[in-house]
Amino acid sequence: MNLIKKTFSVLLISFLTFFQSCSECDNENPTAKITNLGTSEVSVQIKTSGGNTENINNIDSGNSSSATSYAPGEITYTIVVKDGTELEQKVTVDFCEDYTIIVNPDNTITTTSVPRD
């Protein structure tokens, strides 16, 4: 009986440790997706502090893009509305965060983030 309790305890601890380690983010790059609530199609350039760029193009009004990953640090989002209007925002982003860049109905930018577990 005592052996069964010890075996069960070891298995339970192993099981909990396994699931605990699976849920933690381990310095993964941030991601961003664009949600376009604006008046027309937009394209977005994400420029990292290291000079690399990610482009998310042709997001129709009322739609969202898929998420794209990039390096953490100071990021500049340049959003070009179909009529040629350019919007820009600088944000410092961190590891293990998922960002949503929202183009609002008045064509302003709001950025929100959710930590990744």
Tell me the per-residue pLDDT of 65-78, one tens digit each, with 9 for 90 and over.
999 999 999 999 99
Relative to beta strand 31-36, strand 97-103 is parallel
d(CA 70, CA 53): 8
Q: Say if pTM beats, i.e. exceeds, 0.85.
A: no
pLDDT of the residue at 74: 96
Residues contacting residue 22 through CB under 8 Å, at least 6 positions apart: none
Structure tokens at 3: 């052996």
Total domains present in the chain: 1
> Domain of 51?
28-115
Would you say residue 71 lies in a domain? Answer: yes
User: Do the beta carbons of residue 28 and residue 36 sit within 8 Å?
Assistant: no
Would you say residue 6 lies in a domain? Answer: no
Query: Which residue ranges of the chain lie beneath pLDDT 70?
Result: 1-23
Relative to beta strand 53-59, strand 68-69 is unpaired
Please report, for the domain that includes residue 37, its CATH number: 2.60.40.2890
Structure tokens at 107: 């064509």
Would you say residue 49 lies in a domain? Answer: yes
pLDDT of the residue at 19: 47
